[in-house]
């Protein structure tokens, strides 16, 4: 059903494959230089050149892969160390919070007893006055 809507591909149209033919076909200079040697000589030299390039690129790829693995291992070790430090910091924080709660309880207890402490001077004066009355001592 969709067939009639297709447009036929024109041979002259540019399909974005510029240089595609030159990838598989040798340059004119290479053709003329190897024309006397025959097709086999050109094929072997071209194959050797391509093979050398591919081996070089493969070596670069292996080097890059090894470097990435080393970097990944280093980052992993750093992450593990950071996690250990985080756990240690959290444990310290928990201990500090426990101490804070304990100190807050002590302070609350002291604050509850403070009004009685502030009343002590008045109580001492009252007791002094009573003792003076009981003993018959004159107080100025």
**Strand, coil or helix: 24:** helix
Residue ranges of domains in the chain? 34-135
Handedness of CA 7, 12, 13, 14 (dihedral sign): positive
Host H or E run for residue 74: helix 39-135
The 10s digit of each residue's pLDDT in 86-140 is 999 999 999 999 999 999 999 999 999 998 888 999 999 999 888 888 888 776 6
């Amino acid at each position: 059903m969709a067939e009639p809507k297709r447009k036929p591909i024109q041979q002259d149209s540019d399909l974005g494959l510029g240089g595609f033919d030159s990838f598989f076909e040798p340059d004119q200079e290479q053709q003329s230089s190897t024309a006397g040697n025959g097709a086999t000589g050109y094929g072997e030299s071209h194959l050797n050149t391509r093979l050398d390039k591919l081996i070089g690129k493969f070596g670069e790829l292996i080097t890059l892969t090894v470097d990435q693995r080393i970097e990944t291992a280093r980052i992993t070790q750093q992450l593990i160390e950071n996690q250990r430090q985080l756990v240690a910091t959290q444990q310290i924080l928990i201990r500090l919070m426990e101490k804070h709660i304990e100190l807050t309880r002590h302070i609350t207890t002291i604050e509850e007893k403070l009004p009685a402490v502030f009343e002590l001077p008045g109580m001492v004066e009252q007791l002094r006055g009573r003792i003076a009355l009981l003993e018959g001592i004159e107080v100025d």
